[in-house]
Amino acid sequence: METPEILNQLQTIFRSVMDNEDIQLTDTTTAIDVEEWDSITHIQLIVAVEKFFKIKFNAAEIRAFKNVGELASTIKSKLA
C-alpha cells in the first residue's frame, strides 16, 4: 500500500472517529490542526488505525509520532 492510499484511509478513520466530515489530512497535520483531536481521541484513533490496518504500535512508536505523515510512514513500514 502506498502513502497516498494510507493517507486517504487515515482521513476516513479520522473523520469517523471525530465525527467530522470536514477533516482534511496532510503529511504535516498535527493534533493542533484538528479541534477535536485531544488525548482521548488520540487513543481512539490509534486503536481504530490498528484495527483497520491489522497492525500494532508499541508505546515508543506512538510517542514518536509528530504528525500524520510519520503515522502513515510507520503504517507503510509495518505493512511491507
Which residue segment(s) compose the domain that 7 sits in? 3-79
Q: Say what the pLDDT of residue 57 is.
A: 97
pLDDT tens string, the chain, 80 residues long: the values are 899 999 999 999 999 999 999 999 999 999 999 999 999 999 999 999 999 999 999 999 999 999 999 999 999 999 99
What are phi and psi for residue 69, nearest 5 degrees? Answer: -60, -40
Residues 3 and 72 sit within 8 Å (Cβ to Cβ)? yes
**CATH number of the domain within which 56 lies:** 1.10.1200.10
Q: Where are the alpha helices (DSSP H) in the chain?
A: 3-18, 39-53, 59-64, 68-79
Total tally of structural domains belonging to the chain: 1
Which cell numbers in the block locate residue 64? Answer: 514518536
